[in-house]
Structure 1
Amino acid sequence: RVLIHAAAGGVGHLAVQIAKSLGAYVIGTASAAKHDFVRGLGADEVIDYRTVDFGDAVSDVDMVLDPLSGETRARSLDVLRPGGTLVSLLPGGDPAEAAKAAAREIRVENLLVEADHAGMTAIADLIRAGELRAHVEASFPLAEAAKAHALGETGRTTGKLVLVVS
């Protein structure tokens, strides 16, 4: 059982597909308008983070993927089963969070992206098998990189934003 926050976002929409390809039961958080999109990626459940507290809706998950950090990261510890894993895409945490995780034997990892041959081959295999597809919300010429960055900072995009270099 995997909980993926921001499941319709640039990282989340790919994580849903990868988790499903590995046989996980996937729960995603997304706004109501994006639920069909996230279900279409393979999510088994989708929680509207605007109207439902994920802490009330989910428990005993094996892994949480958190691209948001802050309060979401801290509250995610409560939905993990003892011995579960919290993977955060942003650095964070404090001594109290670390102590809480340690008391429940929860592993907390900050994900650092490093290209590795085996990982890239596994992703290419998923793409070839039709199990992984990237959704592009918008493309921008490189000259409009600031506009793309501003849109990404809203946290309301679906899928990826692409800069086109000619």
Structure 2
Amino acid sequence: MSSTVAAYKEKMKELSMLSLICSCFYSQPHPNTISKFGDMEVKPINKRASGQAFEVILKPQSTDLTPEQPISPKKKEISLEELQQQLDAAEDRRKSQEMQLLQQLAEKQQHRRIVLHRAIVDNCDFSRTTERKLNQKMEICSENRKAHIAALKDRLREKERHAAEVRRNKVLREELSG
């Protein structure tokens, strides 16, 4: 019983979805709607209140287990020359693929060299620029320091002149008062 139900379910899956959909739109069965699917036959039954009805007739399975078509066609025999030609062609393809791979690797290596060279050049340029800026700052600092020292010396000279003048004035006062 379960095998019959399983076979019925399997055969229902094979029914055309189009015929099922069309049966919803056309309430009158088409006179030529007898369908055969392998060992199953589907016949329409008069319309019922619930809609279209079908009769599914399952034919008994045939006891003949031989397949209708052979599983695999017989291969023709290949001669040694043909086999050697195929081997040579395969070797040529392998060599060609190997050459393409080597070319790609060489291109990648060349690209890496270019990128590395650019990085080294950029690094050298950056180092030069940084060194130049540092030297400029050091020169500016040196000039500022020299200017500061010169200003300090000027102020010291002014103070020494002022002190010398004060001493002179003091000596003059002592001479006048004394």
TM beyond 0.5: no
Structure 1 or 2: more strand by fraction: 1
TM-score by length of 1: 0.20
TM-score by length of 2: 0.19
Question: Computing the radius of gyration over CA atoms, which structure comes out larger, 1 or 2?
Answer: 2
Structure 1 or 2: more helix by fraction: 2
Relative contact order higher in (CA < 8 Å, ≥ 6 apart): 1
